[in-house]
Structure 1
């Protein structure tokens, strides 16, 4: 009779623990990468088979994929396939399905929830954290070549072109102008280059053949700027009509810039993660740089992993293979999406009903045992 009392009590205890797991599952429905837990009970008995109630034998995790939500954040990543992201904390490797990533204050790609660094492959194929510090902006490039095209005619013997903007040795944009003056005595053009203050920074002669094409050796000039910067102004190839020409039948002079090099410093404006895990920075000037590629852990069986905490998994034995998406792994990395928990609300509600009935029944056993004991005590007093 006393044993029935304690059996009912153990049933209430195990039901309470199982309900704790269910409530925790439900509360983590929206937690990225959370894996639902299940409680498994076992009966207790003596050697001669007398029942001693029940206890929680084990708590296991469901490793089925979770729901996927769109976030629009390019560093939020979802793995479409059987693999895990790799995280590093000191010398230890951990794993997760929750790709809730961002760049920290030191420009490392990290897991937002734990702060652990996301592991990738560098250009040499070595495992390393993904850091964008060296690539946050592209350095400026000085202008050293300007290509000019158009036409000059002695019908307008003095012509000024003021739309030449170059990148100087400080990485700044600097405006220059070209003044063309026709010399009838020598039948050539004197070119004077001035800065925005009107100071001369270069000069030279441009000469043409009778057919209006440039002469050899008279088709370019050099501009010398402060800090040793030299800029070549090319008017085209000698004998070609593709560059600057001199055709007197033209009504007026008109030139333009066909090509110019040099770039101001350009910060990155966007991070793109490709389906193969390549991480690319896109810059304001339209250029892009590959800064690394995500490393992924191959998963043959999730039983080889255990939950360290929350969405973080650890390997139970040997370290799994670290591979690239599409190279040994049939996995796609989807940017702008997250895997949420794999909690099935219908299953949790069903388990909750069963647990509630179990608790009620155990409570009833406890109540009946107490009534029988009370009846026994009362009969001894009679």
Structure 2
């Protein structure tokens, strides 16, 4: 009977541990990136009460716990609209460097840039990525919060130049200088076919002043000739450095005599003014995309992801982080393939199945009550025995 009490006590201890695992899962129901755990039970060792062979004389010593098992089942993804909230659709984990220098891994992708411009999680661990040389390092936007301006180099045009018109004026030609300043110029086309068949003089004007001149020639098919389709000239804004320009008529520009009215327009230029950083996000391959107020974008580091072969090499350490118990079972890489894809503006929620936890809770409660009843019964039997002995 003393053994029965011991066996019942092992049940109370085991089911208490199981209840704690359930409690931890349910309290982390809304923890992003949380992975549920389940208590693993095993029967305790056996002794043989007689010399009979087989199992006829074996008596068990109760319940043992073999630790908890992690479930890395994918959690639900919820959209947040924050470009630095990241979720992994697949088996990868984010690679982190803790303040003490240790490496950790996480599925919780709620990140932000700290005061030094370094990407970190809520606990201050740095998120690791790969630089341009493929070396693992922190992800930083230091020196990238403002984009310097880029002077225009190519001005593109489209439309039709009708031979029926002696001159054509193209207004609203935007040019960005080396300092990022914007200038609005115009282009005048003058028919010079009397000198060279199909030719037009190209004048770049600032106000009424001609600041550059070139020639555009159309062949007998109405397309610009290869030698003249891109007209080179220079523009020197007041007080600024000279800006070499190419006026590009090579795409979508024709000279069609069947169209009596010219409809040639300025379409685009490749310069931009300096601007501040307005937003940051990651693409599906884990590359940092920076967007500036001028509409331009730039690319930063690429996230370094990790994955494991078996949960036996994973240990939870808190703060939504895990560590490797055996580095040989872990692999480093980037988004794609076995590592999964990155979803910016989403967070992965806990994978806890609340209905399953409640079902397990009832089972644990019934097991605890049964073990308690075993102890109570064994105790009553002992009391009866002591009472019989005293008579």
TM-score normalized by the length of structure 1? 0.68
Report if the CA contact (8 A) 1:148-1:234 is conserved. Answer: no
1:346-377 superposed Cα distances (whole Å, 9 cap, x missing partner): 44333322221222123223333454555567
Query: Which position in structure 2 is the counterpart of 1:186?
Result: none
Quick check: 1:12 aligned with 2:12? yes
- Residue 107 of structure 1 aligns to a residue whose secondary structure is coil
Q: Is the 8 A contact 1:34 1:340 kept in 2?
A: no
Choose the corresponding residue for 2:76, options 61, 68, 74: 68
What secondary structure, in the 3-state scheme, does the structure 1 residue paired with 2:362 have?
helix
Q: What is residue 222 of structure 2 aligned with on the other side?
A: none
Among residues 335, 342, 350, which one is paired with 2:343 in the alignment? 335
Once the 2 structures are TM-superposed, how far is the Cα of residue 5 of structure 1 from its aligned partner? 4.6
Distance in 2 of aligned mates of 1:236 and 1:333 = 40
Rounded to whole Å, the distance in 1 between the matches of 2:216 and 2:351 is: 78
Which residue among 112, 116, 121 is the counterpart of 1:111?
A: 121
Q: Which residue of 2 aligns with 1:315?
A: 324
Report what 1:225 is aligned to: 237
Q: 1:160 to 1:59 in 2, by over 3 A?
A: same
Secondary structure of 1:279's counterpart equals strand
Instruction: Give me the whole-angstrom Cα distance separating, in 1, the residues matched to 2:232 and 2:341.
Output: 52
Aligned to 1:34: 35
| Alignment partner, residue 180 of structure 2 | 171
1:271 aligns with 2:281: yes
- 1 CA distance for matches of 2:298 and 2:103? 27
> Per the alignment, do residues 51 and 40 of structure 1 end up closer, same or farther by CA in structure 2, a change over 3 Å counting?
same
Q: Quote how far apart the aligned CAs of 1:18 are.
A: 1.9
Tell me the equivalent position of 1:24. Answer: 24
Structure 1: unaligned runs, 5 residues or longer:
181-188, 210-215, 246-250
One of 278, 290, 299 as aligned partner of 1:281: 290
2:361 to 332, 348, 352: 352
Alignment: residue pair count: 355
Report how far residue 263 of structure 1 moved.
0.7
1:141 aligns with 2:150: yes
Q: Which deviations, in whole Å up to 9, do the C-alpha atoms of 1:128-157 show, x marking residues without a partner?
A: 222233444432113467679999xxx999
Deviation at 1:335? 0.7
Taking the aligned partners of 2:216 and 2:334, their CA distance within structure 1 comes to: 60
- Given the alignment of the two structures, is residue 368 of structure 1 paired with residue 369 of structure 2, yes or no? no
Which secondary structure state, in structure 2, belongs to the residue aligned with residue 65 of structure 1?
Answer: coil
Change (3 A) 1:377 1:208: closer
Determine helix, strand or coil for the equivalent of 2:44. Answer: strand
Residues 49 and 59 in structure 2, CA contact (< 8 A), matched pair in contact too: no
CA contact (8 A) 1:295 1:324 kept: yes
* Residue 88 of structure 1: how far off its partner (Å): 1.7
In structure 2, do the counterparts of structure 1 residues 201 and 170 end up closer, same or farther at CA, with 3 Å as the change threshold? farther
TM norm structure 2: 0.66
Contact 2:333 2:339 in 1 (8 A): no
TM-superposed CA distance for 1:124, in Å, is 0.9
RMSD: 5.2
